[in-house]
């Protein structure tokens, strides 16, 4: 796919005719830089969204752990006060 010499492309197409449709699709995609950039932009947007969700999940887990620690300390204090 990285070769752009017409002779090589013709030789591959002659050997594997089904390669032609794949090559045409990739070739057209590369010619339309705006569409390529749009696809890239959408992928980055999805990665950003996933990163934010991951960070929120991590923070929530930290909060849950801290709450559990506080609850344990509260129990210890309650028991200490009672006796």
**Would you kindly state where each structural domain of the chain is located, as residue ranges?**
6-82
Q: Is 38 exposed, middle or buried (0-12, 13-18, 19+ CB in 10 A)?
A: exposed
pLDDT of the residue at 73: 94
Q: What count of residues does the chain have?
A: 83
For 9-61, the pLDDT digits (tens) are 888 889 988 988 988 888 888 788 888 788 888 889 999 999 999 999 999 99
C-beta separation of 9 from 3 below 8 A: yes
């Amino acid at each position: 796919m990285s070769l752009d010499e017409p002779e090589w492309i013709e030789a591959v197409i002659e050997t594997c005719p089904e390669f032609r449709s794949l090559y045409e699709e990739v070739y057209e995609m590369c010619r339309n830089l705006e569409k390529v950039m749009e696809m890239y932009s959408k992928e980055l947007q999805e990665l950003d969204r996933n990163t934010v969700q991951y960070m929120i999940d991590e923070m929530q887990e930290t909060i849950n752990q801290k709450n559990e620690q506080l609850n344990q300390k509260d129990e210890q204090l309650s028991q200490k006060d009672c006796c």
